[in-house]
Amino acid sequence: MREYAAPPIPQASPWSRLTDPVVAHAEQQPEAPQFALRVASGDEDGPRWEDVDNAAFRTRVEEVARGLLAAGLRVADRVALLARTRLEWTVVDYAIWWVGGVSVPVYATSSDEQVAWILSDSGCRFAVVEDASYAARVAGMRASAPDLEQVWVIDEAGASDASTLRDLVERGEDVGVDDLEHRRTAVGRDDVATLIYTSGTTGQPKGCVLTHANFLDGCEATATELDELFGAEGAATLLVLPLAHVFARIIQVGAVNRGVRLGHAPDPRRFLADVATFRPTFVLGVPRVFENAFTQLSQEAAASGRARGFERAVEVAIAHSRSEGRPGRVLGARHSYYDRTVYRRIREALGGACAFGISGGAPLGDRLSHFFRGAGVPILEGYGLTETTGASTVNTPDNHRVGTVGRPLPGTAARIDENGELLLRGPHVMRGYWSHGDVEPVTDDRGWLATGDLAEIDAEGFVRVTGRAKEMIVTAGGKNVSPGHLEERIRSGALVSQCLVVGDGQPFVGALITLDPDAYGAWAKSRGKGPLRSHTQDADLRAEIQKVVDKANATVSQAESIRRFEILAADWTEDSGALTASRKLRRNVVVREFRREIRELFQ
């Protein structure tokens, strides 16, 4: 099938701007919990969670919004957010929207070069950062970000020389209620809400221009399609992703719009400890979240001497899921046994109330998907881009097909072009890319967005992503990585000839590196080394290449950095088919010819 269009939902979002549900919930259900604040308990039972009700959330948002008005924030001014996942991040985000500003999220792990570029390209006037150390970093970028006027820090510890969020709140105490509400209601659906920067093929991040309507319509379609999750009584979910990721922002907005209790969990290493005490009814994350959960469960089983039993339970869960409800008597009996002895413990480890997971941002993998479904916690895989304000397709509880990313959301159309590339169209597609104040359209004259991914659509509309039409890497953690940027930096090394950066669907980024024969010859002679074919693992040589890799890594975030590399014994040439006549890398040829070496990088 070449095209599938899902009809729009009968009623579009009832909201005109992203702050409307905050006001409505505070007025209609002031004491209902909207957020849960993580509080370290200091005992073995894990963290405690203190509820923040609708009225309290509105008050916090309005306090910061008043401060922004008093600081001189104008309509459409950009404000950078550089902090970990925490309640204050969400409060500031909504405060920016409250007064007609545009939030610009930045990953807390971004390099100085990336932060400086985003501040410069977006023209941010203000920034809110995690702590004094981040404030000092940003202060050193003033020359490249001339529009930046003021920085506030969230954590006050050690911030004696920096303005704090508390200072901002105090600054706005004299701003009147009418002035604040006038600014809020002047914001419209088509106004820009945020610029989310995603890696571009040139290596410089591109700012995706997303409007209030993009979020409102996209979240309404998602929540309607997944009403069993978002509409359930006592619905609660845990935010474990960085809020600079569009998936996290969709979770945030969807939870606020639908009144789903939301907790912020900034440390993925504590995922199981957090879900056990928070008790979410569903969890959303990139595949790495669920991979880590599986790894922790496996390690705990091994530590208690139950490794072999756990492994058998895993295989039974996968087989049971693959049977599609027809397991047969023997498999059914084995599954029932492990449900009582193993799967029940897994569900308890996820808090005991978690009925579903939702995965997006990168491929989940059939085996992991079948395992969780067989263990009683189906992971519903979806697909989306920053350019589509998150989700465009998703599996649902009633229509779950492992190996696919589900069907288009209501109001979304998917098409496969003549080259096999997936195209998307719908109200959630962004306005364009931001470029120093200009917006560059990215859709064709009929509104189709080229995703860069190869895909298939079956007769029922289920989309299966089969590969990437462009070179961008998406790690298992959902992080976009521009291989060209890193490869260019590494090729600048004196000893290096070529480099291939890999890591699509993997937990980290790796690289294959070839050396310039003449350069290596001179280096080896000066050090009494032999031929390269017998020295690819030489400690001195690897140390030299590590210096080059470290310099390249310094220009990107931790998630994009190269963790492992392999030096190959021979250079890539045009004669071998690895290079074009202009010495451009034939990526598909190299990946095919060196698949063993690539596989070993991630073992």
The string of DSSP letters for 395-418 reads --SSS--TTS--EEPTT-EEEE-T
Our CA dihedral for 468, 470, 475, 478, rounded to 10 degrees, sits at: -90
Structural domain includes residue 426: no
Which residues, other chains included, contact 550 with Cβ-Cβ below 8 Å and sequence gap of 6+? Answer: none
User: In 226-327, which residue ranges form alpha helices assigned H by DSSP?
Assistant: 227-230, 246-258, 271-278, 287-303, 307-322
Structural domain includes residue 374: no
CA R_g for the chain: 25
Structural domain includes residue 375: no
- List % helix, strand, coil for the chain (3-state, nearest 5): 40, 25, 40
The C-alpha atoms of residue 477 and residue 475 are separated, in whole angstroms, by: 5
pTM of the model: 0.84
Q: What is the largest CA-CA distance in the chain?
A: 79
The C-alpha atoms of residue 255 and residue 253 are separated, in whole angstroms, by: 5
Domain end (from 187, 208, 236): 187
Domain end (from 187, 221, 247): 187
| Phi then psi dihedrals of residue 87, to 5 deg | -60, -40
Q: Do 265 and 248 touch, CB atoms closer than 8 A?
A: no
Domain that holds residue 512: 482-601
β 3-5/33-39 pair status: unpaired
Cβ–Cβ contacts within 10 Å for residue 447, how many?
A: 13
**The pLDDT value given to residue 201:** 41
β 390-394/407-408 pair status: antiparallel
The C-alpha atoms of residue 288 and residue 359 are separated, in whole angstroms, by: 9
**The pLDDT value given to residue 582:** 47
Domain end (from 163, 187, 211): 187
Calculate the CA 215 to chain-centre distance: 16
Q: Do 56 and 162 touch, CB atoms closer than 8 A?
A: no
**The pLDDT value given to residue 106:** 96
The C-alpha atoms of residue 379 and residue 358 are separated, in whole angstroms, by: 5
**The pLDDT value given to residue 485:** 80
Residue type at position 298: S
Calculate the CA 7 to chain-centre distance: 28
Query: Under the phi-then-psi rule, with left for phi > 0, alpha for psi from -120 to 50, and beta for the rest, what region is 63?
Result: alpha
The C-alpha atoms of residue 151 and residue 135 are separated, in whole angstroms, by: 7
Query: What are 193's two structure tokens?
Result: 């809400």
Structural domain includes residue 319: no
**The pLDDT value given to residue 544:** 94
Strand, helix or coil for residue 385? strand
Q: Do 78 and 122 touch, CB atoms closer than 8 A?
A: yes
**The pLDDT value given to residue 577:** 80
Structural domain includes residue 200: no
* Count of domains for the chain: 2
Structural domain includes residue 32: no
What CATH number does the domain containing 70 carry? 3.40.50.12780
Mean pLDDT by 10 residues, the chain (603 residues): 87 89 98 94 75 98 99 98 97 99 94 93 97 93 94 89 94 96 98 89 78 96 95 96 94 97 90 92 88 82 86 95 94 96 92 94 86 96 95 96 96 93 96 89 93 92 84 84 84 88 94 92 90 94 96 90 96 81 73 93 92
The C-alpha atoms of residue 225 and residue 221 are separated, in whole angstroms, by: 6
Our CA dihedral for 65, 156, 26, 52, rounded to 10 degrees, sits at: 160
Structural domain includes residue 369: no
Residue with tokens 């209790």: 261
**The pLDDT value given to residue 484:** 80
Cα distances (angstroms) measured from residue 539 to each of 109, 136, 193, 361, 471: 29, 37, 51, 37, 32
What CATH number does the domain containing 558 carry? 3.30.300.30
Structural domain includes residue 73: yes
Cα distances (angstroms) measured from residue 578 to each of 471, 575, 585: 16, 8, 6
Query: What are 106's two structure tokens?
Result: 């930045």
